[in-house]
Chains A and B, each alone.
Chain A
């Protein structure tokens, strides 16, 4: 083409970008790029812990940006708004998840610091990937468009595939990466197909437009739309590890480097739920009668399968993997209620769960020892005598996961079950409570092993290497335990945070 021809083409209309709205994303991506570039250009190795510190600082900056955004969206004069041509929504919901996911990044980085040195893998890559993956998660939470959801999901996932396989010398790590990648692509295809079907049925991928269309029109035949629901649910159900799309979870959680598992179980699950809640509970609200039974089914299956299978495991990482499936079931109980209270309950649960699960996998990181291999229950026998504080921290986190009062875990379960009861889902509430009892067995089993198990018990009376507790991991554990207890006693700030973070539907301007 000649320059003259080019000049005749109308410039593509680019949407105006409000940089402030995407500032948490910019900080995370910017941090990742700076870290990668600086590490590549630096001639000497940076001081110990530099990467982790950098990541934590970046995360803190992102939280600061989120706090500014929170001020803006909760200001009655201004309120929530859309940005980038209606592609993303900035409301309490997006900010809530930005904070949750960023917290997971910071805690994950603290855990990774010593782990990478211990395993001889030290380098900036894991941190960079964690920041980028987290960015994808925040994009999913901010998305106001199905395509943007997909974009965020892929950013999140692809980084995670690499992170899962980061432990080069461990076969299980490689295996988990491949499994995660294959099954993740498989589920992405479902999600994409679901998006296409919903677009076909409603004529838009924008949430505001879809909701407006659904409430303004009665579809003569809604088969297309409902098939779209089903496929979207497959894709998102995979991400949050809901049964029957959970099959990858135990293998991948077990095989991936433990700090990565911690991040995966917290940030990735949170991002998946962000999309699930926004797409179904908020956007497809009109069709709640159609999707609620499915959500019910997924919740019940996740609760039961998660807790039942956790009981028969002997590997602590696998136990925690199944327990995370049953936690997904609990959060689905909140989603199934399809009410503001249900969403607020689910949000509270996710935030509380993030700290509990990162802390728990943090303990597994330390106890696992060199080679990240020692995750059998026997490794925990007598831990209370070798490392009383570590055992105490793990006990608190496990009890919180079991839902013992005065921990955040109790209130999390209380709020979602309360929402289910309010929505008249009595059966679901009952099943949730019963499955909590079954799951409690798992947590108590680990606790009992730590406190009552004799180290010399069993066939292998091997002398175990001492469990080291490096400062970074100690900090992460301390934060996780403190959060769990403080929120368990003084829940109201977090409850208010979750209540104000219920998503709003905004159309493109």
Chain B
């Protein structure tokens, strides 16, 4: 009986401590302590993360020589195809520049970019996020899109502290980005994450033709996210006759598991 009474008292004492901590957190009164803890954890997390990425880079394994040969042949084929695309792209770029000059058409992106190092990723089961070393001191704000490499969309800033920010990746199950498929119909839809393991584009009208390999970019319909950021390519198509929409499974352009440097697009 005494044990039960003590248990109840202890449970309530602990619950009150937790409740007070939560209230103090949301009121911002323990922010200095939280920032101090983050300043200790972040560098170590960054070191461990970069070590894990470099270890992961050298861990690609093949089960047989045939598999390696096949992967090599595929890469050669892709490389040849990309060289052709590159030549075509260069021709189109030159042509486009010439036409712009002739039309007196000026485009200038006034957006700024903050280059950031990835210093950690999520450890909870529900999300797919990364931690970057740039925050509100560098102009980063909640809602800013984040890109990797030559402009591959990887996610959106969801929390911005003074020195760090958390980016929700496009494969997070809470991520939603309006997108366009570069097909004949320029189909629009919504790119959504799925539990950190995949990305899919939903709400594509059933009557529009999409093909495997089609490129998907941002449509500009999501607030703060500019048009034309590449998201990935169509890997598979799910089409049910009785559904009004079809779905495309996307292979993201950026390798979301080994991000090292990213850029936050800051609208000016």
Q: Do A and B come together as binding partners? A: no
